C-alpha cells in the first residue's frame, strides 16, 4: 500500500461485537469491542444476534469518533468499510452486514467483504513480517492449517468434526462451567496430572470428538477435573503441534503463525514455540487482542483488499456463514508462495522422525525422535505404537500387492525401523498423472484389506522408473468404516491441492485410479466429506 489508507472494520461472526479503525500510515489499530456473555451453556445464536443488534451501533460509533478525531477533515474519515462476511453464525453476520452496508452508503466509501479466518491468518502475517508462513487457526468453531499457493490459501489440514474451542466448551458445559470454557480449563490444568486420553491425527487432519467423549466419561467416573483438564490440554494441543510440524515438513516452510482465540492459551503457544525451535523454524503469535475475535484484523485485511481494488457492490455483499478460507481469491499478495523445494537426499527430517537414506547400501533407517513438547507418557506411547503399526501395515500392504519397502529390522523400544531403499525421489517432486493414478489403486487395495494408510501425502510416496511405492504407515490402523477410507483419500487429495501447480487433473487421475480397484461408495463419502460445512459456529 503506497498511499496511506484508513479503513473502518466491523466484526460480528459469533460473540464479539467489535469495530476498529486501521491507519496504514502509522500502522495504528484502534479496537472497540463488546463481547456477548451467555448466562449459561454455550453461545445461543438468537441471543448472540440480539447482542449484536444492540452492541454494533455503539462500538461503531466509538470507532467512528476515533476516526474523525484523527482525520484531517478532508472528505470521509475513512477510505472504506470492511466487515466480516463469514464464516460464522448467520443471524450475527446479517446484523454486521446490514450495518456495514448502511455505513458504506452514508459515508459514500467502498465496501470490503472479509473472510474471518483469512483475517486471523493475515493479522499474524502482518504483525510478524513473515513472507509466506504456514498458519494454524485455532478458534472456537474452527481449526485448520493454511498455506498460500497459486493465488489462494490452501487448506492443508483441518478438524474432521468440530473446532477446538467448541470441543473444549463441550467438556466444560458437561462439567457445569460457563462460557467461555478455555480459560477455565487452562486454570484448572495448572494443578493436574496426566491421564491417558485418545489422540487422533490423520495426516494433517485431526478429530476432537473421541477425546471429548473420553474426557466426559473420565470426569463422570471420578477422575479429578484438574487431571482431565491437564490431559485435555496435553493431548489436544500436542495434536495441533504435530499437524503444524507435518505442514512445515510438507511445505518446506520455516515460518509458523498462530491465529484464533484458543491461541491465547499459554500451553499451546509454548508447545508450538518449542516445536518450531527444535526444527529451526520461527514462530509468531500476535498479541492477545488480535487472537480473539476482533475488528482490528478485519480492518487490516480490509485495507490490503481495498488497495488491491477488491471491493464489493452492494448487490454482491451477502454474508456467507460457511465461507471457507480456500474460497477466497487472494488479490492483495504478489509472490512469496511456498515452493516445496527438495531436501538433502541423505537425511530427511519429517514431522516425527529423521530418515537416513543410504541408496548405496540399499537401505533406509527411520528413527522416531522424542518430542519434547509432548508429555513424556504420551510421547513414549505414540512412538512405540506408531513404530509397531508402521512395520506391521507395511508388510500387510506388500501382501496385498502394493509396492512398499521390505522391513528388515524393527527396534520398538528405540522406535527405529530399517527398510529397503525404494524410489528415487518423493512424489511431491515428480508429480504426474500416472503416478497419482497408481496411488489411487494402492489405497483401494489396502482399503479392501481392511486398513488405512493414515497419512498418504505426496511426501509419503516414493517414485522411480520402476514403480510408485507407499511408505510411512505409522498413522495407519485397521478399520472397516467407509468414513475412514474416505478420510484417507481426503488426506492425499488435500496434499495434491497444497503441492501441485495445477492440481485438478491430478485429483481426477487419483479418483480414476481408486475407482479402478476400489468402491464407488468410498468416493461418494469423500464427496460428502468435502461438502461438509465445518466452519459454522455452535
Report, as residue numbers or ranges, the catalytic residues: 455
What is the residue whose three cell numbers read 499459554? 266
Question: Cα dihedral sign for 201, 269, 153, 7?
Answer: positive
Distance CA 179, CA 41 (A): 6
What one-character DSSP code corresponds to residue 261? Answer: G
Distance CA 19, CA 212 (A): 34
Here the cell at position 61 is 460509533
Is residue 73 classed exposed, middle or buried when 0-12, 13-18 and 19+ CB atoms within 10 A define those classes? Answer: exposed
282 close to 155: Cβ distance less than 8 angstroms: no
Residue 94: CB atoms within 10 A of its CB come to 17
Is residue 198 classed exposed, middle or buried when 0-12, 13-18 and 19+ CB atoms within 10 A define those classes? Answer: middle
Q: Going edge to edge, which strands form the sheet with 416-420?
A: 347-349, 353-358, 363-368, 416-420, 407-411
Phi, psi of 293, deg, nearest 5: -55, 130
Question: Nearest 5 degrees, angle CA 375-CA 140-CA 91?
Answer: 170
Distance CA 98, CA 463 (A): 54
Pick from 20, 23, 24, 25: which is nearest to 9 by CA? 20
| H-run or E-run covering 97 | helix 90-107
439 close to 492: Cβ distance less than 8 angstroms: yes
Question: Cα dihedral sign for 147, 149, 115, 110?
Answer: positive
Is residue 466 classed exposed, middle or buried when 0-12, 13-18 and 19+ CB atoms within 10 A define those classes? Answer: exposed
Here the cell at position 177 is 462451567
Q: What is the 3-state secondary structure (H, E, C) of 413-472?
A: CCCEEEEECCCCEEHHHCCCHHHHHHHHHHHHHHHHCCEECCCCCCCCEEECCCCEEECC
Distance CA 512, CA 525 (A): 15
Residues whose CB falls within 8 Å of the CB of residue 430, separated by 6 or more in sequence, listed in order? 463
Amino acid at each position: 500500500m503506497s498511499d496511506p489508507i484508513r479503513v473502518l472494520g466491523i466484526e460480528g461472526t459469533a460473540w464479539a461485537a467489535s469495530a476498529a479503525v486501521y491507519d496504514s500510515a502509522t500502522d495504528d489499530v484502534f479496537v472497540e469491542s463488546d463481547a456477548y456473555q451467555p448466562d449459561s451453556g454455550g453461545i445461543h445464536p438468537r441471543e448472540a444476534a440480539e447482542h449484536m443488534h444492540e452492541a454494533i451501533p455503539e462500538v461503531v460509533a466509538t470507532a467512528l469518533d476515533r476516526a474523525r478525531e484523527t482525520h484531517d477533515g478532508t472528505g470521509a474519515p475513512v477510505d472504506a468499510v470492511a466487515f466480516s462476511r463469514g464464516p460464522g453464525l448467520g443471524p450475527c453476520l446479517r446484523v454486521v452486514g446490514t450495518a456495514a452496508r448502511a455505513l458504506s452508503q452514508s459515508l459514500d466509501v467502498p465496501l470490503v467483504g472479509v473472510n474471518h479466518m483469512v483475517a486471523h491468518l493475515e493479522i499474524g502475517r502482518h504483525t510478524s513480517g513473515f513472507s509466506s508462513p504456514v498458519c494454524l487457526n485455532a478458534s472456537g468453531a474452527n481449526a485448520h492449517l493454511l498455506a498460500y499457493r497459486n493465488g489462494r490459501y490452501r487448506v492443508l489440514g483441518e478438524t474432521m468434526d468440530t473446532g477446538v474451542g467448541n470441543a473444549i466448551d463441550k467438556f466444560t458445559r458437561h462439567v457445569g462451567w460457563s462460557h467461555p470454557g478455555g480459560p477455565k480449563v487452562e486454570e484448572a490444568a495448572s494443578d493436574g496430572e496426566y491421564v491417558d486420553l485418545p489422540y487422533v491425527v490423520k495426516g494433517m487432519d485431526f478429530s476432537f470428538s473421541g477425546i471429548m467423549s473420553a474426557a466426559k466419561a473420565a470426569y463422570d467416573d471420578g477422575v479429578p477435573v484438574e487431571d482431565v483438564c491437564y490431559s485435555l490440554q496435553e493431548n489436544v494441543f500436542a495434536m495441533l503441534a504435530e499437524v503444524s510440524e507435518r505442514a512445515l515438513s510438507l511445505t518446506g516452510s520455516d515460518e509458523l503463525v498462530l491465529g484464533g482465540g484458543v491461541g491465547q492459551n499459554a500451553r499451546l503457544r509454548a508447545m508450538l514455540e518449542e516445536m518450531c525451535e527444535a526444527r529451526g523454524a520461527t514462530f509468531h503469535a500476535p498479541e492477545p487482542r488480535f487472537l480473539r475475535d476482533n475488528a482490528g484484523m478485519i480492518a487490516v485485511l480490509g485495507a490490503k483488499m481495498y488497495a488491491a481494488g477488491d471491493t464489493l457492490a452492494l448487490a454482491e455483499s451477502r454474508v456467507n456463514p460457511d465461507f471457507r478460507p480456500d474460497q477466497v481469491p487472494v488479490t492483495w499478495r504478489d509472490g512469496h508462495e511456498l515452493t516445496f523445494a527438495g531436501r538433502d537426499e541423505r537425511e530427511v527430517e519429517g514431522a516425527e522422525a529423521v530418515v537416513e537414506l543410504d541408496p548405496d547400501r540399499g537401505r533406509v533407517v527411520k528413527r522416531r525422535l522424542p518430542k519434547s513438547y509432548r508429555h513424556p507418557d504420551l510421547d513414549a506411547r505414540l512412538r512405540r505404537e506408531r513404530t509397531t503399526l508402521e512395520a506391521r501395515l507395511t508388510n500387510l500392504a506388500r501382501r496385498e500387492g502394493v509396492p512398499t519397502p521390505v522391513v528388515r529390522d524393527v527396534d520398538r523400544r528405540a522406535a527405529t525401523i530399517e527398510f529397503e531403499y525404494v524410489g528415487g525421489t518423493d512424489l511431491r517432486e515428480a508429480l504426474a498423472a500416472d503416478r497419482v493414478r497408481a496411488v489411487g489403486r494402492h489405497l483401494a487395495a489396502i482399503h479392501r484389506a481392511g486398513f488405512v494408510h493414515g497419512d498418504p501425502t505426496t511426501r509419503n510416496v516414493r517414485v522411480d522408473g520402476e514403480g510408485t511405492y507407499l511408505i510411512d504407515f505409522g498413522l495407519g490402523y485397521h478399520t472397516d468404516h467407509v468414513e475412514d477410507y474416505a478420510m484417507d483419500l481426503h488426506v492425499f487429495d488435500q496434499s495434491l491441492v497444497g503441492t501441485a501447480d495445477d492440481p485438478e487433473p491430478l485429483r481426477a487421475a487419483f479418483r480414476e485410479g481408486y475407482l479402478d480397484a476400489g468402491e464407488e461408495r468410498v468416493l461418494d463419502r469423500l464427496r460428502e466429506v468435502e461438502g461438509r460445512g465445518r466452519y459454522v459456529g455452535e
